[in-house]
């Protein structure tokens, strides 16, 4: 049974944002819209919700912006320290374990965030979903967070295939966000996306995203 605090945090996370993650043939796609809300007020139309924390690992954020940015700073530093000490990059699982430990240690004054961590390491492509109290779930193929996630899931589950290419994954991620933005008032404006493969972490160009969205109008 959830406590009153847990229910309040869950409600705050669900007030705004839609982010998605997909495992594709050869990599991972992460995407998000850019609207930030405070109740019914649109606080920003260009909010950044995807952050690179290591060479081949990214995080999408839903919830309180300040909390998300603080966590990104902490984990980015830890990833760099790990590389210096071990002379090898940290695994995606390692990043999520660190995040889980930080969040679990802050149960009294929690970080009000829900995160998707996606990337490539020596064991392949991975996506993990992490809740505000450190709960860590390995997602097998797709994941979505935020108030528009039920709508995004409808598109993802209907059209997703594990063997789709990175480009197909980008198109599907954009389509799922496009649909969510049409029905969820807390999701809107532009879309940002990244494609992570064993060779690079790449931000998808605005022109490419616009050309994909144009096919859905």
Catalytic residue, from 3, 17, 97, 137: name it: 17
Task: State the Cα–Cα distance between residues 57 and 187, nearest whole angstrom.
Answer: 24
Cβ-contact 65, 47 below 8 angstroms: yes
Q: Which residues pair with 114 in a beta bridge?
A: 62
Kind and range of the H or E element at 148?
Answer: none
Mention every residue, 6+ apart, whose C-beta is less than 8 A from residue 40: 185
Is 17 catalytic? The answer is yes
Task: State the Cα–Cα distance between residues 58 and 2, nearest whole angstrom.
Answer: 30
Task: State the Cα–Cα distance between residues 113 and 110, nearest whole angstrom.
Answer: 9
Q: Which two tokens stand for residue 7?
A: 């229910």
Q: What residues act catalytically?
A: 17
């Amino acid at each position: 049974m959830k406590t009153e605090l847990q229910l309040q945090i869950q409600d705050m996370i669900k007030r705004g944002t839609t982010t998605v993650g997909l495992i594709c043939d050869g990599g991972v796609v992460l995407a998000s819209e850019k609207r930030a809300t405070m109740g019914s007020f649109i606080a920003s139309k260009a909010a950044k919700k995807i952050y690179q924390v290591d060479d081949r690992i990214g995080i999408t954020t839903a919830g309180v912006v300040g909390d998300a940015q603080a966590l990104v700073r902490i984990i980015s530093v830890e990833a760099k320290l790990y590389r210096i000490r071990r002379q090898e990059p940290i695994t995606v699982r390692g990043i999520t374990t660190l995040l889980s430990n930080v969040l679990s240690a802050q149960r009294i004054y929690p970080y009000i965030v829900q995160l998707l961590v996606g990337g490539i390491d020596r064991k392949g492509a991975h996506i993990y979903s992490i809740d505000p109290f450190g709960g860590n779930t390995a997602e097998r193929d797709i994941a979505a967070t935020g108030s528009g996630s039920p709508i995004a899931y409808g598109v993802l589950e209907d059209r997703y295939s594990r063997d789709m290419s990175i480009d197909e994954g980008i198109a599907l991620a954009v389509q799922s966000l496009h649909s969510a933005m049409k029905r969820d008032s807390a999701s809107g404006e532009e879309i940002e996306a990244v494609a992570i493969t064993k060779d690079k972490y790449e931000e998808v160009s605005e022109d490419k995203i616009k050309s994909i969205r144009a096919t859905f109008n």
